[in-house]
Amino acid sequence: MKKLVLLASAIPTFAFAAPDRTVELRDAALKDDVAWDITEGLTTEVGQRMPGTEAEARARDWSVKKLKALGFKNVRVEPFDMPVWVRGEEKAEITLPYPQPLILAALGNSGATPASGLEADVVHFATFEDLKAAPDSAVKGKIVFVSHAMKPTQDGSSYGQYGQARFTGPNVAAKKGAAAIVIRSIGTDSHRNPHTGSTNFEAGVTAIPAAALANPDADNLERIFARTKTVRLKLTLTPRNIGVRQSGNVVAEVPGTDPEAGIVLIGGHLDSWDLGTGAIDDASGVAITAAAAKRIMDAGKPRRTIRLVWFGAEEVGVLGGKAYFERHKADNHAVAAESDFGADRIWRFEVKLPEGAKPVADRLAAALAPLGITRGKGEAGGGADVGPIIRGGVSAIDLNQDGTHYFDLHHTPDDTLDKVDPEALRQNVAAWTAMLSIVANAPENISTARP
């Protein structure tokens, strides 16, 4: 009799789902080699993957081959067109008062100097706010130098504030009539590796030469300004806009058993800045998400289809994310998640899920706790590439990587494979595997968009 009772009480569970293999899959993922294999492969066999260039096209070819070999279904490239900016020569020197070279890198969308260079007096602003407040007369015809230094934060939140000097500083300086602008790199290291990244000029504003100095070079210029206000720089920056070229998103799927349950959209971005080899930004992100999806695929069909997207041209304005949104906004997305904050360990998760899916978040908390991951108090935001989809109303899960050292490397020549810790990478794969196991198989409705 006892046996029969037990059997009866077990039935409701079996009616919902197959036995939960989350713990088993999570722990097996701590021995993962697939994510390393992808990160190592992309950085070695392709290297830098500048958006819209032939290098990014080679990366798409590489990716299609790799994702097919891993057993994913519906592997394809979804192309889109984009305007392409490429780096040219870049040199800088202090000509007065203490002649010496400086190391810098042009910002994406920077204008060019004449090929023979541009020499002008420098005006120093300690912060971006000071530049904004300055009268045009203080800036006109000069090279602007903004020197404030970013400090690291675990959640990367300082990027938004300090990043303004890069995001909009050149536009502000151009509108005030500056000849050019150099900013202290938006980064937290102290190496001679400048941090590039996109800047944007408003329609009608002519792009001026805009570059980031390596932090030790910005230190030096600040020390010189502490001695004298008469400082001259000569800049030679010859980037070019080479017109419209093709980029694309690489898409692969793990088909689910229940099309009505919606798609679990995951991924990272395939492109990288040209200075490094894009190891932590974002070969590791595409690698982590693919490795985790493969583990779910190899364990048997999940309830929901997992759609893995390796986005193109993220670095120059989230162009892949926008193209994906335009093409797929009508698809039945249940939830989206993205890995694009390096390769260090995940320390926190946050969700944006409908009320009825509270047990899903609880199961996530239980499955992620042994990996050292706690539940955050905020609402998941997704990330740059899945942002348009999430802002369209789709649920989101964030697995937050530790960003304390991320901005030491971000957008620098130093973003190379040796910076990836294989053990931290495995912790990421284990967390993503556990998350996908729970989310892709959840019997509950997890869709915010379609309750």
Q: Which of 101, 114, 141, 359 binds its own copies (CB under 8 A)?
A: 101
Tokens in use for 329?
């906004």
CB of residue 434 vs its own copies: minimum separation in angstroms? Answer: 31
CB of residue 105 vs its own copies: minimum separation in angstroms? Answer: 12
Does 419 help bind its own copies (rule: CB under 8 A)? Answer: yes
Q: CB under 8 A: which stretch of 114-122, 147-155, 216-224, 427-435 binds its own copies? A: 216-224
CB of residue 416 vs its own copies: minimum separation in angstroms? Answer: 4
Distances (CA, A) of 83 to 242, 243, 247, 313, 343: 7, 5, 10, 10, 30
Does 45 help bind its own copies (rule: CB under 8 A)? Answer: yes
Q: CB under 8 A: which stretch of 37-45, 129-137, 251-259, 349-357 binds its own copies? A: 37-45
Q: CB under 8 A: which stretch of 110-118, 318-326, 328-336, 417-425 binds its own copies? A: 417-425
Q: Which of 21, 132, 175, 191 binds its own copies (CB under 8 A)?
A: 191
Axis crossing angle, helix 284-298 with helix 34-45, rounded to the nearest 10: 140
Distances (CA, A) of 245 to 20, 52, 79: 46, 6, 10
The residue count of the chain comes to: 451
CB of residue 418 vs its own copies: minimum separation in angstroms? Answer: 5
**Total of residues contacting its own copies (CB under 8 A):** 36
CA distance 63 to 66: 5
Does 421 help bind its own copies (rule: CB under 8 A)? Answer: no
Identify which of residues 55 and 449 has a Cβ nearer to its own copies in the complex. Answer: 55
Footprint (CB under 8 A) of its own copies, residues 239-298? 276-277
Q: CB of 313 within 8 A of CB of 271?
A: yes
CB of residue 228 vs its own copies: minimum separation in angstroms? Answer: 10
Does 215 help bind its own copies (rule: CB under 8 A)? Answer: yes
Nearest to 397 by CA among 253, 264, 250: 264
Give 423-450 as a DSSP string.
HHHHHHHHHHHHHHHHHHH-SS---SS-
Q: Which of 13, 74, 100, 374 binds its own copies (CB under 8 A)?
A: 100
**DSSP label at 282?**
I
Helix (H) or strand (E) holding 260: none
Does 193 help bind its own copies (rule: CB under 8 A)? Answer: yes
Q: Which of 44, 74, 161, 257 binds its own copies (CB under 8 A)?
A: 44
b (16+ CB within 10 A) / e for 71-96: ebeebebbebebebbbbeebebebee
Q: CB under 8 A: which stretch of 43-51, 133-141, 261-269, 325-333 binds its own copies? A: 43-51
Tokens in use for 393?
């109303």
What are the two backbone dihedrals, phi and then psi, of residue 323, each rounded to the nearest 5 degrees?
-65, -40
Nearest to 105 by CA among 209, 16, 10, 30: 209
What x/- string results for residues 121 through 160 when contact with its own copies is judged by CB under 8 A? ----------------------------------------
Does 103 help bind its own copies (rule: CB under 8 A)? Answer: yes
Binding site for its own copies (CB under 8 A): 40, 43-48, 55, 58, 94, 97-101, 103, 190-193, 215-216, 219-220, 223-224, 227, 276-277, 412-414, 416-419
